[in-house]
Amino acid sequence: MDQLRRMAVFAEVVTAGSLTAAGRQLGMTPSAVSQHLRQLEQSLGLALLHRSTRRLTLTEAGERYHAGCAAMVAAARSADQALSRLRDEPDGELRLAAPIGFGSLLASALAPLRSHPKLTLNLLLDDTVIDLIEERVDLALRVGAQPDSTLVARKLGSMKRQLCAAPAYLAERGWPAEPKDLLNHDLLGSRPRNASFDFLVLTGPGGEQQQLRFEARVHASQVTAMHALCVAGWGIGMAVSQEDQQALADGRLVPVLPGWHMTDVPVYAVTARRGEQPAKVRHALDLLAAYFEEALPPAVETVFRAV
């Protein structure tokens, strides 16, 4: 490493034209600059500069050696500039993993990133766990309690859940008046693998709690499929995505048991490493935190149980 530093000092001396000027640029005294040059020439066994009282000139060896030293310094400066851009300005590819139901949310929340022309966005949408390190993921959104691990999780907020169904289904099968009535209905579920039943815990207006164990008529591992099934009248499900919110707003879905609610589900932003993050990750985190603070669409814990 000392040799690399001496090479950088030599390149700066040639550029500046004198030991004094090079010292000013490097924050060194002329004698310290001279010492670096002597050590460099001793290690090479060749003189690199002709020194006179008025000026410095390169020897033949110095001319040949300077080209490589200058290229080294230029490469180092280029590397510093590239890292500065990553640190200070969103740049490069942002790889972000999230459950499928968050596609529309991410498109809205991260819209301000469009103003950074050097940034590209790669969304890895999957309702199963993605290995952040293997897939080179910068940032992931995950729902529900997070297990202890080497990953770093930052809570963005909590999401509310509400049972819903298509009006046509309720017109045919009737409206549940209390949680136990759900057992007489077709329910849409997404139980974990190898589990025999789905579970639903509801809290009433007075704080009373009821837990239901049921076998769903239809299971779906993806929120897009769950949304389509619910709107098509297959049974009672839970709002998951912005598409569900739109369906509730325009009447294609209606709330079921609105006086009963489920526990809010936490949403986390997860990164693979601690410490200072590049600008692209910091900007994305800030935008997501702001989005979740302002408007929280409902989500379903069971749909994302494995995420």
pLDDT in tens, 53-75: 677 888 888 888 888 998 888 88
Q: Strand pairing of 92-98 and 139-143? A: parallel
**C-beta of residue 161 within 8 angstroms of C-beta of residue 300:** yes
**C-beta of residue 193 within 8 angstroms of C-beta of residue 210:** no
Average pLDDT value over all residues in the chain: 83
Q: What is the mean pLDDT of residues 9-21?
A: 86
- The rounded percent of the chain whose pLDDT value lies above 90 is 24
Domain boundaries of the chain, sorted by first residue: 2-88, 93-156+266-295, 163-255
What is d(CA 88, CA 147) in angstroms, rounded to the nearest whole number? 32
Q: Give me the DSSP letters along 218-244.
A: EE-SSHHHHHHHHHTTS-BEE--SHHH
pLDDT value, residue 138? 92
pLDDT value, residue 88? 60
pLDDT in tens, 230-248: 999 999 988 766 777 789 8
pLDDT in tens, 130-146: 888 888 899 999 888 77
Among 84, 81, 109, 78, residue whose Cα is nearest residue 96: 109
Q: Which residues contact 267 (CB under 8 A, 6 or more apart)?
A: 141, 142, 143, 155, 156, 157, 158, 159, 292, 299
Instruction: Please check whether the two domains, 93-156+266-295 and 163-255, share a CATH topology.
Output: yes
pLDDT value, residue 233? 93
pLDDT value, residue 231? 93
Domain covering 93-156+266-295 in this structure, CATH number: 3.40.190.10
What is d(CA 242, CA 165) in angstroms, rounded to the nearest whole number? 15
pLDDT value, residue 139? 93
Higher pLDDT, 55 or 26: 26
pLDDT in tens, 245-297: 789 899 999 999 988 888 888 889 999 877 778 889 989 999 999 988 875 44
Higher pLDDT, 101 or 173: 173
Q: What is the mean pLDDT of residues 78-89?
A: 64
pLDDT value, residue 235? 93
**C-beta of residue 229 within 8 angstroms of C-beta of residue 220:** yes
**C-beta of residue 199 within 8 angstroms of C-beta of residue 213:** yes
pLDDT in tens, 148-192: 677 888 899 887 788 999 999 999 999 999 999 998 999 987 655
Q: What is the mean pLDDT of residues 38-52?
A: 86
What is d(CA 111, CA 48) in angstroms, rounded to the nearest whole number? 56
pLDDT above 60 for 300: no
3.40.30.10, 1.10.3720.10, 3.40.50.720, 1.10.10.10: which CATH number matches 2-88? Answer: 1.10.10.10
CATH 3.40.190.10 for domain 163-255, yes or no, is yes
pLDDT value, residue 190? 66
Among 141, 149, 108, 146, residue whose Cα is nearest residue 124: 141
Q: Give me the DSSP letters along 12-60.
A: HHHHHSSHHHHHHHHT--HHHHHHHHHHHHHHHTS--EEE-SS-EEE-H
**C-beta of residue 66 within 8 angstroms of C-beta of residue 205:** no
pLDDT value, residue 53? 64
Strands annotated E in the chain: 49-51, 56-58, 92-98, 119-125, 139-143, 152-159, 163-165, 188-189, 198-203, 209-214, 218-219, 237-238, 254-255, 265-271
Q: Which two tokens stand for residue 271?
A: 């990164």
